[in-house]
Structure formats: structure tokens, C-alpha cells
Amino acid sequence: MSDEEVKSLEEQEMQDKVISPEKTEEAKLKARYPNLGARPVGPDFLRKRLQKGQKYFDSGDYNMAKAKIKNKQLPSTPTEKTEITGEHIPTPQDLPQRKTSIVASKLAV
């Protein structure tokens, strides 16, 4: 950008500042991102908004990611002592309770 162009842009900015701070901010944004389209809220923008949420490759990918988080958060649980091996046919009462680990909210302390 030549000196004259910079000067005229500054003058325009000063004028805009008098008119509206919004337009000044817009000029700032356009200067930083010259490829920015004229309308920020077009169909593409809205469609991205409609599809918010993390996309995974498939359910296996999702469950792996969840398992990783769970491993980080929870201390290792002690392994249950099972006497259920070999010929013994397990009944529902014999199986260890599979408890979903719920971390209580800190507001409820």
C-alpha cells in the first residue's frame, strides 16, 4: 500500500469514527482479514451454526475418545474379586454391579 493510499484510508477511518465506531471496527476487521466476505451471516455461516457439535469418524472413534477422557478423570478402580470362573454359571445376582460413575456437581456441596 502506498503512502497516499494509507493516508486516505486513515482519513476515511477518522471520518467513519465520527460517523460510527462500528464502521471503524469494520474497517479494522477488513484490514486484518482482506478475504472476508461482505456478509458475515450468509447461508454458509448459518449452516455451520446448525451443525455445531464435534464430528467423529464413527461410533468407534467416539467411544475411544470418551474412554480417553474417562481414563484421565477417574482414579483407577480396584478390580473386583470374582469367583465366577470355569464351570460356575453366573446368575444376575453374582455379577458385579456396573455403576455409571457420576461426578456430583460442585454446586451441590
Partner 1 sequence: MAGPGGGSSDVQWCFSQVKGAMDDDVAEADIISTVEFNHSGELLATGDKGGRVVIFQQEPESKNQPQCRGEYNVYSTFQSHEPEFDYLKSLEIEEKINKIRWLPQKNAAQFLLSTNDKTIKLWKISERDKRPEGYNLKEEDGRYRDPNTVTTLRVPVFRPMDLMVEASPRRVFANAHTYHINSISVNSDHETYLSADDLRVNLWHLEITDRSFNIVDIKPANMEELTEVITAAEFHPHQCNTFVYSSSKGTIRLCDMRASALCDVHAKLFEEPEDPNNRSFFSEIISSISDVKFSHSGRYMMTRDYLSVKIWDLHMETQPVETYQVHEYLRSKLCSLYENDCIFDKFECCWNGNDSVVMTGSYNNFFRMFDRGYRHDVTFEASRENSKPRSVLKPRKVSTGGKRKKDEISVDSLDFSKKILHTAWHPLDNIIAVATTNNLYIFQDKVN
The residues binding partner 1 (CB under 8 A) are: 19-26, 28-30, 32, 36, 38-41, 43, 46-47, 49-59, 61-63, 66, 102-109
89 vs 108 by CB, closer to partner 1: 108
Residue with cell 454446586: 107
Report, in Å, the least distance between residue 76 CB and partner 1: 19
Q: Which long-range CB contacts under 8 A does 55-64 form with residues at least 24 apart? A: none
Which residue's CB is nearer to partner 1, number 1 or number 109?
Answer: 109
Map residue 78 onto helix, strand or coil: coil
Does residue 9 sit in helix, strand or coil?
A: helix
